[in-house]
């Protein structure tokens, strides 16, 4: 029995030595060719599509790089403008056009669809040459990032209209025990969403995991086991609203409305639509809302949209809640997954929004809209 144990230990030691030797050899070869180890990065490596599209930003975590054009493995093209925004087809010189800034998350950015199939690009095509739609959407951006954009970024475009498509990235924080009023945890998660490493002081184990596949694998296994045990222990899956997130969502929307008044003539608040059928059919929770039961998400999002509706008072003609979005039938074919629009979904969404914008402008009055002496001609 003793000999068997010794043989097993020796074989195990030899196997570990071989695996470690192979990894060390592979890492050295990779280092000589690339100048860094396989997993070592801190803003210096841009291997994935996300890393090629987005760059570090001191306040927003990340933003699109300017003037790039990238095609991923699925042959989806992502082109950006000089404003660090995704291409919509708007002309470079839009000084004499009606400028529309759209803010939101991945659905606004156009995750999983080609440039021409994002809803802001479709909106641009529907409105025509007298308009310039500027797509400030970035995956993961919530109302917290929108506030920073409205304070520091959007004013440079001097828009006449601002469109806010917010909701999913705020309800993402529902029942998260780490969530705080300053959106710190949400902001830190953006490093993963945009594939932008958080360059903070790292522990020896974290540094080791950057150059060791074995340690990296062990950490992933540990994280998954801990997450599953923690989830079971806390019974995380909820079906009820999160009062703190609701209050902060309303607070942020009110701030956005105030900022928008200073920047543009009209503010359009658009309720979030999701693939309700898929949420109801899929058991458990979605990875983007890990503490909420999927079956509860449709009703919770409806309630969240009512909170947005309360932002625009009836007597404020410059604040528009686009209720029409909720009046149409949204089918699974309108989405690519749980909430990102397919081409047909983007068409439907942009059509509703374009009609609402044109109707508002045709009502006639230029108050707060035309701020320049050389006023663009309304359609």
Could you read off the pLDDT of 203-233 as tens digits, one per residue? 666 555 655 666 667 766 766 665 554 454 4
Q: Is-contact 313 336, C-beta < 8 A?
A: no
* The predicted structure's pLDDT at residue 2: 72
Task: Please report, rounded to a whole number, the percentage of residues in the chain having pLDDT higher than 70.
Answer: 81
Q: How far is CA 1 from the centre of its chain?
A: 59
Q: What gap in Å lies between CA 187 and CA 169, rounded to an integer?
A: 11
- The full set of domains in the chain, from first to last, is 49-177+239-362 (3.40.50.1110)
Run of H or E including 255: helix 243-263
Is the pLDDT reported for residue 358 higher than 90?
A: yes
Question: Taking Cα atoms as reference points, which of 365, 273, 278, 373 lies closest to residue 324?
Answer: 273
How wide is the angle at C-alpha 57 spanned by C-alphas 56 and 62, nearest 5°? 65
The pLDDT mean for the chain works out to 86
Q: Among all chains, which residue has been given the structure tokens 């009820």?
A: 240
- Which position has the higher pLDDT, 235 or 4? 4
* The predicted structure's pLDDT at residue 379: 45
* The predicted structure's pLDDT at residue 226: 52
Residues 109-130 have a mean pLDDT of 97
Is the pLDDT reported for residue 280 higher than 80?
A: yes
- Which position has the higher pLDDT, 300 or 202? 300
Structure token pair of residue 200: 């903070």
Q: What gap in Å lies between CA 163 and CA 136, rounded to an integer?
A: 10
Is the pLDDT reported for residue 78 higher than 80?
A: yes
- Which position has the higher pLDDT, 157 or 230? 157
Beta strands in the chain (DSSP E): 54-57, 61-64, 69-71, 77-79, 98-104, 131-135, 161-165, 266-270, 319-321
User: Residue 298 contacts by C-beta under 8 Å, 6 or more apart in sequence?
Assistant: 274, 276, 279, 280
* The predicted structure's pLDDT at residue 202: 58
Is the pLDDT reported for residue 150 higher than 70?
A: yes
pTM of the predicted structure, to 2 decimals: 0.81
Residues 176-181 have a mean pLDDT of 94
pLDDT digits (tens, 9 = 90+) for 25-54: 766 776 666 555 565 544 434 345 777 899
Q: What is the DSSP string of 26-49?
A: HHHHHHHHHSS-TT--SSS---SH
Q: Is-contact 253 311, C-beta < 8 A?
A: yes
- Which position has the higher pLDDT, 280 or 199? 280
* The predicted structure's pLDDT at residue 259: 97
Question: For residue 228, with 0-12 CB atoms within 10 Å meaning exposed, 13-18 middle and 19 or more buried, which class applies?
Answer: exposed
* The predicted structure's pLDDT at residue 200: 59
Question: Taking Cα atoms as reference points, which of 219, 195, 196 lies closest to residue 207?
Answer: 219
């Amino acid at each position: 029995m003793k000999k068997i144990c010794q043989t097993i230990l020796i074989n195990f030691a030899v196997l570990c030595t071989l695996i470690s030797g192979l990894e060390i050899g592979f890492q050295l070869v990779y280092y000589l060719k690339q100048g860094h180890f396989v997993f070592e990065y801190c803003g210096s490596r841009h291997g994935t599509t996300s890393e090629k599209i987005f760059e570090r930003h001191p306040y927003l975590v990340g933003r699109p790089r300017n003037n790039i054009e990238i095609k991923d493995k699925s042959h989806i093209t992502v082109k950006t403008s000089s404003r660090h925004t995704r291409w919509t087809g708007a002309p470079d010189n839009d000084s004499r056009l009606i400028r529309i800034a759209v803010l939101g998350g991945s659905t606004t950015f156009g995750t999983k669809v080609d440039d021409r199939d994002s809803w802001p690009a479709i909106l641009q095509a529907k409105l025509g040459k007298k308009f310039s739609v500027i797509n400030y959407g970035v995956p993961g951006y919530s109302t917290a990032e929108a506030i920073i954009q409205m304070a520091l970024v959007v004013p440079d475009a001097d828009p006449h209209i601002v469109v806010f498509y917010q909701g999913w990235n705020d309800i993402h924080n529902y029942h998260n025990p780490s969530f705080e009023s300053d959106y710190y945890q949400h902001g830190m998660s953006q490093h993963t969403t945009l594939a932008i490493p958080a360059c903070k002081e790292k522990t020896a184990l974290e540094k080791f995991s950057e150059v060791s596949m074995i340690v990296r694998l062990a950490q992933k296994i540990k994280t998954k086991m801990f997450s599953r045990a923690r989830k079971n222990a806390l019974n995380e899956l909820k079906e009820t609203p999160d009062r703190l997130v609701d209050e902060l969502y309303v607070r942020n929307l009110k701030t956005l409305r105030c900022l928008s008044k200073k920047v543009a003539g009209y503010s359009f608040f658009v309720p979030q639509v999701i693939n309700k059928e898929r949420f109801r059919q899929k058991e458990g929770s979605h990875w983007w809302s890990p503490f909420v039961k999927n079956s509860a998400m449709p009703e919770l999002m409806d309630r969240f949209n009512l909170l947005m509706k309360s932002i625009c008072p009836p007597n404020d003609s410059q604040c528009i809640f686009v209720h029409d979005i909720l009046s149409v039938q949204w089918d699974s074919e309108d989405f690519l997954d749980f909430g990102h629009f397919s081409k047909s979904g983007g068409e439907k969404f942009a059509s509703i929004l374009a009609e609402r914008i044109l109707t508002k402008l045709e009502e006639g009055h230029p108050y707060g809209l035309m701020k320049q002496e050389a006023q663009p001609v309304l359609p």
